[in-house]
């Protein structure tokens, strides 16, 4: 890969490390078409990898030292593979150390590397820059250690999720790491987050994605995320009294939930109603995509947003303003918040050729509603993780 960005990063690596990089590991960000807050309920998700990624240019070392330079954080970080330790002052480095920790836990003999890290996935925006860094880093460690192929894609995704849960301390599901690892150009991925089976779903030729970044603070996101997870667990516990066979909300139908709603408190019921209906919407979306019914896909996306706003309560005035701006344009099939919510991005499915009109409506309407200047991105469905030989 000799695109301009890679050339610039190669030159930067030479300046920083006074030697040449031999490999480049790439982890893309993602946008989720539908299936929000379903992954940690053993449910279904339908994300796509986007053409924005984090790249680790590297040169393997023969010892156990890892020397990193992050272009975006403009900072060096060094650690030894025999002395991994959470660093509360350099948060980005914990993702790298966490990956080293989880791979070592699996008995893999890692070697160190010199690495330049650089990305263009907007940070803290709900486009999974963390998963992109984890997947790029895992790919880098495996390559530096001559272990490419030692784990399959699903195993790498699981390892990356574990690093984030247990080393970084963020209680995320599997979706982001999975799509960053296993995404395919021109496709969405239907992931069954229980069995971890997945199916490629061709991205429709009559559809294009517009992503609107609210640039609104997500300060509530992590505490609310954990609270939602507990509420889902409370719902399962209540339902298990009458449905002993269920393990997760994935096993519950809308009819069952309605029948037994009095067993749980009304807030827990509304959280469960979102998850159960959202799982049904993901499968309905795949069916609609298979028959090229993009009007129906858009309707399902709109319904997903309403459910996330009203039942799951993870939208925000900024996200609502963003989807309204997107939907104001003829040629927008549907729009919804994407990712955990509370801020970050919304995604619209639009008719190809209408991307600029949707972007124009966002820049026109969204600042008036919120006093915040947004960012807008378009991206086709891109590939998952890649390892590129340089030089
Ligand atoms: C975040 C998490 C994912 C998923 C989404 C909500 O992106 O990292 O695992 O739970 O929120 O769908």
* Domains in the chain, CATH or no CATH each: 4-203+382-389 (3.30.230.10)
Q: Determine phi and psi for 149, rounding to 5 degrees.
A: 95, -10
Question: Which of 176, 181, 312 is the best mutation target for the ligand 1 pocket, counting ligand atoms within 8 Å of the beta carbon and taking the most?
Answer: 176
- Position 2 scores a pLDDT of 76
Q: Report which of 94, 105, 100 is spatially closest to residue 139, judged by C-alpha positions.
A: 100
Which of 53, 114, 176, 320 does the annotation list as catalytic? 176
Q: State which ligand 1 atom lies nearest to the alpha carbon of 32.
A: 12
User: Furthest-apart CA pair in the chain: how many Å?
Assistant: 68
- In the sheet that holds 375-378, the strands lie side by side as 332-338, 345-350, 208-213, 375-378
Which residue minimizes the CA distance to atom 8 of ligand 1? 172
Report CA(59)–ligand 1 centroid distance (Å). Answer: 32
- Position 221 scores a pLDDT of 73
Contact 165, 363 (CB under 8 A): no
- Position 6 scores a pLDDT of 97
Report CA(118)–ligand 1 centroid distance (Å). Answer: 23
Task: Report if pTM > 0.95.
Answer: yes
Report CA(35)–ligand 1 centroid distance (Å). Answer: 10
> CA 254 from chain center: how many Å?
27
DSSP assigned state of 122: P
Which residue minimizes the CA distance to atom 2 of ligand 1? 172
- Position 223 scores a pLDDT of 86
- Position 1 scores a pLDDT of 64
Active site residue 176: yes
For the chain, the straight-line distance linking the first and the last C-alpha, in angstroms and rounded, comes to 10
> What residues does 58 pair with on adjacent strands?
23, 115
Q: State which ligand 1 atom lies nearest to the alpha carbon of 174.
A: 9
Report CA(148)–ligand 1 centroid distance (Å). Answer: 27
Residues with CB under 6 A from ligand 1: 36-37, 39-40, 172-173, 175-176, 339-340
Q: State which ligand 1 atom lies nearest to the alpha carbon of 128.
A: 7
Report CA(115)–ligand 1 centroid distance (Å). Answer: 28
H or E stretch covering 11: helix 4-17
Which residue minimizes the CA distance to atom 11 of ligand 1? 340
Which residue minimizes the CA distance to atom 7 of ligand 1? 339
Q: List per-residue pLDDT tens for the chain, 391 residues long.
A: 679 999 999 999 999 999 999 999 999 999 999 999 999 999 999 999 999 999 999 999 999 999 999 999 999 999 999 999 999 999 999 999 999 999 999 999 999 999 999 999 999 899 999 999 999 999 999 999 999 999 999 999 999 999 999 999 999 999 999 999 999 999 999 999 999 999 999 999 999 999 999 999 877 678 899 999 999 999 999 999 999 999 999 999 999 999 999 999 999 999 999 999 999 999 999 999 999 999 999 999 999 999 999 999 999 999 999 999 999 999 999 999 999 999 999 999 999 999 999 999 999 999 999 999 999 999 999 999 999 999 7
DSSP assigned state of 249: G
- Position 217 scores a pLDDT of 81
Distance CA 117, CA 95 (A): 12
- Position 220 scores a pLDDT of 64
């Amino acid at each position: 890969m000799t695109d301009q960005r890679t050339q610039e990063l190669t030159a930067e690596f030479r300046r920083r490390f006074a030697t040449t990089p031999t490999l480049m590991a790439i982890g893309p960000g993602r946008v989720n078409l539908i299936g929000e807050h379903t992954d940690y309920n053993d449910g279904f998700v339908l994300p796509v990898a986007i053409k924005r990624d984090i790249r680790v240019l590297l040169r393997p070392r023969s010892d156990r030292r890892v020397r990193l330079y992050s272009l975006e954080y403009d900072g060096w970080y060094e650690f030894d593979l025999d002395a991994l330790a959470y660093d509360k002052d350099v948060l980005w480095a914990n993702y790298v150390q966490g990956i080293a920790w989880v791979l070592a836990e699996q008995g893999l003999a890692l070697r160190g590397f010199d690495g330049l890290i650089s990305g263009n996935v907007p940070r803290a925006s709900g486009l999974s820059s963390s998963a992109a860094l984890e997947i790029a880093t895992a790919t880098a460690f495996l390559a530096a250690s001559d272990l490419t192929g030692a784990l399959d894609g699903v195993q790498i995704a699981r390892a990356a999720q574990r690093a984030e849960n247990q080393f970084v301390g963020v209680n995320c599901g599997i979706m982001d790491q999975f799509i960053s690892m296993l995404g395919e150009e021109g496709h969405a991925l239907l992931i069954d987050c229980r069995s971890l089976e997945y199916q490629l779903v061709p991205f429709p030729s009559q559809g294009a994605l517009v992503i609107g970044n609210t640039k609104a603070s997500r300060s509530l996101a992590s505490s609310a995320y954990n609270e939602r997870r507990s509420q889902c667990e409370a719902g399962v516990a209540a339902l298990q009294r009458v449905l002993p066979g269920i393990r997760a909300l994935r096993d519950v139908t809308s009819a069952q939930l309605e029948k037994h709603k009095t067993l749980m408190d009304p807030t827990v019921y509304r959280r469960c109603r979102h998850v159960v209906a959202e799982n049904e919407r993901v499968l309905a979306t795949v069916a609609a995509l298979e028959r090229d019914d993009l009007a129906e896909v858009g309707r399902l996306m709109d319904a997903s947003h309403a459910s996330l706003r009203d039942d799951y309560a993870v939208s925000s005035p900024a996200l609502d303003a963003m989807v309204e701006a997107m939907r104001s344009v003829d040629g927008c099939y549907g729009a919804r918040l994407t990712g955990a919510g509370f801020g970050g991005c919304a995604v619209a499915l639009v008719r190809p050729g209408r991307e600029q009109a949707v972007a124009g409506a966002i820049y026109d309407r969204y600042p008036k509603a919120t006093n915040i200047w947004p960012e807008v991105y378009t991206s086709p469905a891109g590939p998952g993780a890649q390892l590129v030989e340089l030089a």
